[in-house]
Amino acid sequence: MFFFDSTYLLVLPALALALWAQWRVQSTYRRFAEVRAAAGMSGRDMARAIMVRNGITDVAVEETGGMLSDHYDPRAKTVRLSTDIYAGDSISSIAVAAHEVGHVLQHAQGYVPLGVRTAVAPVASLGSGLAFPLFFIGFLFRGGMSHFLMDLGIWFFSAAVLFQLVTLPVEFDASKRALAQLTESGSVAPEEVDGARKVLNAAALTYVAAAAMGALQLIRLVILRDSRR
């Protein structure tokens, strides 16, 4: 039966990595969410301070719902911070806020991978929603359209995987910028630098896990398609 085929074994390592990464980011976030930063600034204030220091005055900072739903919207030129990050003054709060402003700095400086990710995002969103239904229909039903639908599903999913791969340098660079902004300005005390770095590194693991899962899923789809030829 398709849903229990042996190719699922391909994605098990990536699934294990994803689960571990999720646990790591949540446990690290909770740990440093309990440590108040010496600067006494909230995530909102830190985000604004970094932007002002870099001459950026046209980007808004807003509160949004959810946990760790923080993101920068380059089209709306708005940094959206989850409630705990927006109002919190912990090491976790200012590190996550600084990371999102790292994307603002990328946007302001024309960082190419961010532009590519923004351009690919609509196609990736459409592709992730259509890829598996198209592939499953082509796989389960034989006929003249079978291979076409499977190939179309693979192409759509490839766009989603490309988005995940392009996301990696974007996120790593944003964290690098965030840590530089926090340390060079003295926004974190020397003894807080390691904590901020751990929060940023833990968050990066989730993107690595997502990219690994996507790449292995793509390989799996190709193997399944070839098995029907």
* Sequence spans of domains, the chain: 2-35+91-100+110-227
- Sheet with 71-73: list strands edge to edge: 60-64, 78-82, 71-73
pLDDT at 74 over 80: yes
Say which range, 79-88, 104-113, 120-129, has the weakest mean pLDDT.
120-129
Annotated catalytic, 100?
yes
pTM (2 d.p.): 0.86
pLDDT at 229: 64
pLDDT at 113 over 70: yes
Whether 98 and 39 have beta carbons less than 8 Å apart is answered as: no
Higher local confidence (pLDDT), 59 or 225: 59
pLDDT band at 1 (very low <50, low <70, confident <90, very high): very low
Average pLDDT of the segment spanning 91-109: 96
Long-range contacts of 147-155 (CB under 8 A, 24+ apart): 147/225, 147/228, 147/229, 150/221, 150/224, 150/225, 150/228, 151/225, 153/221, 154/218, 154/221, 154/222, 154/225, 155/127
pLDDT band at 127 (very low <50, low <70, confident <90, very high): confident
Given the residues 34, 62, 63, 100, the one annotated as active site: 100
Rounded CA gap, 183 and 146, in Å?
Answer: 56
DSSP for residue 188? S
pLDDT at 144 over 80: no
pLDDT band at 179 (very low <50, low <70, confident <90, very high): very high
Structure tokens at 214: 């996507």
pLDDT at 5: 62
pLDDT at 177: 96
pLDDT at 2 over 50: no
